[in-house]
Amino acid sequence: MKKRVDDIGFGGLKLVQDEDAFCYGTDAVLLANMACTELQITEDMRICDLGTNTAVIPLIMSARCRAKEIVGVEVQEQAFELAKENLVLNSLTDRLKLVLANVKDIKGMDSGLLGAASFDAVTTNPPYMESGRGLVSGNTAKAIARHELLAGLEDFFEAAAFLLNEGGSLFMVHRPGRLIDICEESRRFALEPKAIQLVSGKPGGVPNILLMHFVKGGKRQLKWLENISVRNEDGSFTNEVLEAYEI
C-alpha cells in the first residue's frame, strides 16, 4: 500500500488514500454536491453511502449538510480500513459510521445501522462497467471499484430501495451510456427518476458523467437539469465545479 494524505478542502478535511488503489475524482464531488443542493437535509436525517470506498462522499457531506448520521458501506477491507482512518483523522466518528459489507447482503442483514426504511437519503458511486465488458485492471482493488465484479446495478438499486423510507431520495453518479439500464432497474424497485444532469469535460463536449436523483415511490415527473462542464475552454475549472468544491 502506498498511502498519501490529501487536503480536500471543505473546511480543512483530509483524506488518506492508497495511490495503488482507486482514488476519488470529480464525479464523487459532483454527486455529493447534487445531494446537498437537491435535497433539503435537516438535522434529524440519516444518509447512507453505498460503495463508500475511503468515505470521501460521507466526509464531504458531513461538511456541507446537517444530517444527524451518515453511514458508509464498503465491501473491500483495505478501503474500509482507510475509511475508518479518515473518520478518526477528521474527528467525525460521532456522526459518520461504517459497515463492512457487500451491498448484495444488506437486505438480508436488516439490523443495526442498516435497518429497513431507516434512511432519508442514499448516495452511491457504483462500478461503471458491466461484468465481462471492457479491460479489467490487474489491480484487484481498482477492478472491483470499476467493474461489477462483486455487485451489479440491480444490487445497488435493491439495497437503496430496502434502506430508504417512502419518499426517500437516491442520488447516483454513473456513465451516460448506462442511462437506459439505470432507468429500467430503478423502476423495478419503485425508485422513480426525478432529475438528470449530464457533465462533459469541456463546453460542447460529449458528456461522460451522469448524475441522477430518484425518489422511492415518487410520481412520474422528470426534471432535466442544465448540462455542465468540468473545465472552460482555457482549461480552468467552471464556476459550477468550483462551487461544488466550495472554492
Over residues 165-207, the pLDDT tens digits come to 999 999 999 999 999 999 999 999 999 999 999 999 999 999 9
Lowest mean pLDDT among 101-105, 147-151, 207-211, 236-240: 147-151
Residue 150 has pLDDT above 70, yes or no: no
Amino acid of residue 180: I
Over residues 37-81, the pLDDT tens digits come to 999 888 899 999 999 999 999 999 999 998 999 999 999 999 999
210: part of which helix (H) or strand (E)? strand 207-216
**113 in a structural domain:** yes
**10 in a structural domain:** no
**4 in a structural domain:** no
| pLDDT mean across residues, the chain | 91
**5 in a structural domain:** no
**3 in a structural domain:** no
Provide the grid cell at 184: 429500467
Look up the pTM and report it.
0.93
Residue 20 has a pLDDT of 78
Higher pLDDT, 193 or 129: 193
Query: Residue 236 belongs to what domain range?
Result: 25-245
| Burial of residue 23 (number of CB atoms within 10 Å: 0-12, 13-18, 19+) | middle
**11 in a structural domain:** no
SS3 per residue for 74-139 = ECCHHHHHHHHHHHHHCCCCCCEEEEECCHHHHHHHCCCCCCCCCEEEEEECCCCECCCCCCCCCC
Lowest mean pLDDT among 3-7, 84-88, 144-148, 179-183: 144-148
CATH number of the domain that 117 lies in? 3.40.50.150
Judged by DSSP in three states, 61 sits in helix
